[in-house]
Structure 1
Amino acid sequence: MAQPAQFSAPERLAASLRSEGTPDAAAWLAGLPEALAQRLAQWRLVPERVVEPGGRSSVVVYAHRADDLAPVALKVARPSAEAAALRVWAGRGAVLLLDEADGALLLERLHGEIPLRSLAEAKAMLESTSLLRRLWVPAPPGHPFEPLADRAARAAARIAERRALPAAGDAGPLVDEALEALALAADGSGGEWLLHGDFRHGRVLAADRAPWLAVAPRPLVGDRAYDLARLVLDRIDTLAASPGPRGAARRRLAQLAEAVELPADRVRAWTLLRAVDAALGAFAAGDPAAAELRLEFAAWL
């Protein structure tokens, strides 16, 4: 890997920050090489390589400790509650947080080249539900995590705004149904659980001390069915190409809900909301193919 002074942010991260067009995003991107150099020096790490293509709000560098050669991962991210969630889980079902400082996380090294997505779907779904059961713990007193109701309200506002997009003209009935489902999903009866927030097969990696561990949470507190809804939406391109996709989608939802003993109607409600929100976001980004696939999936439910 190049020395930190010559460090260049992965293109996916740089493009994402540039697209925001805000001074804060530009300043964070400009300060990234210095932040990386400081943490490498602070924790006496020898960099190996930058993980590509990486995420849209952080950079991960594989490194090893200078003293004992132990492999680690250094993640420099924009402000979030990720570290707080990792401290709560303390390695149970999630990557272990070794240290933190000013938005930088020192993490155990996982096998980034082996995501859960590499397994056949049936096996991956089984592993997913087992892992979610470990991650779902009661929210600790005085926690710093966002309430699910707040995140859902932002999703509803986005949907209400984007439904006016010309490309979304035929999505009106599904939009209405998704917003109606929100009333059921966000009624507060789902409990106060710590959620991963973006749980899918690509956010679970093979590890040495456990078969699979979750990474990159967007933690929040609320109904567990919200986490499961993102899992229902995983690999929808594969499902869409299978025989009888409508029946397969409904079976997937029912089987996942049963596996973690959650009401299927709540899982369906959150799935509709997340699918329609993602579809309208794809329309806004100029990706009609992705948008239509998500709307089609929502219609199958």
Structure 2
Amino acid sequence: MILQQLADGLVLGSIIALGAIGLTLTYAILRFANFAHGEFVTFGAYLALLALGQFQVLSTTTFGPLSFGWPLLASLAAAILATAGLALLLDRLLFARLGRAGVAIAVVMGSFGAALALRNLLFFAFGGEPQYYSRAIQIALPLLPRSVLGGVRATPDQLAVLGVTALLVIAMHLFLSRATLGRAMRAVAHNPQLATVTGIDVAAVVRWTWIIGAGLAAVAGVFAGLTVQIRPTMGLDLLLPLFAAVILGGIGSPFGAVLGGLIVGIAESLAVPLVGAEYRAAVAFLLLILILLVRPTGLFGERG
């Protein structure tokens, strides 16, 4: 039973981790907490659902035991592009203008208002009923026998989510450590004024921060819909775990955000038998309080 809960926590944690990477990049480079980031997760999931209805006309073939095939992958790509476009549009119309006012709280409140507007737009467009990418019922595969601490079972879709998440995390690490743009993003996060003096195009870095953060949020939304379901409040439900993961890992640390996401996901999964599924969100809140009390800078945050 414990191993099964750990496995379920890893799946949830991988989804939180992908969303947390974008959130921590936004905070580090743009210097504000974006409360609309959870809605990027939701919009990505719904945009992929809309695109899937078009691509499924071309093919309904799935990849072996998985519940999806090329249509969902094409829909995921379309959702990434559309969610990135939404983030750039919000930045141009809202965040950039509020940021020029020089009042940091105005940008934060603006993101909160944008989140409310986007969430209600989804309710208006799709209603409150859960949606699914596929109605196919998957059989969980035994990964460990029941004789080993109750055994471990996972569906092929869950294994695919874990595998793709691992590849994306590795790709992000290589991008930030070796690519010219990745190093420029780290420089702007550390000292934007010095980065400007050295010739780095800060405006371009900001645009790419929105694109990468929103794109990863869209992937997280699709993965959440693939393993559970899609609903207009999924971004709101994930928002607190996302912030808890970012603070636990250390604000501005993508690797810390990944580790924090996995810890939060596992903690929530282990808490379900103790407090029930309806109260597991409180676990992220308690972790957030403990982190702030014990180590406010997080596991990989820099001490002031």
- Range into which the TM-score falls when normalised by the shorter chain: under 0.3
By relative contact order (CA 8 Å, sep 6+), the higher-ranking structure is: 2
TM-score (norm 2): 0.24
More helix by percentage:
2
More strand by percentage:
1
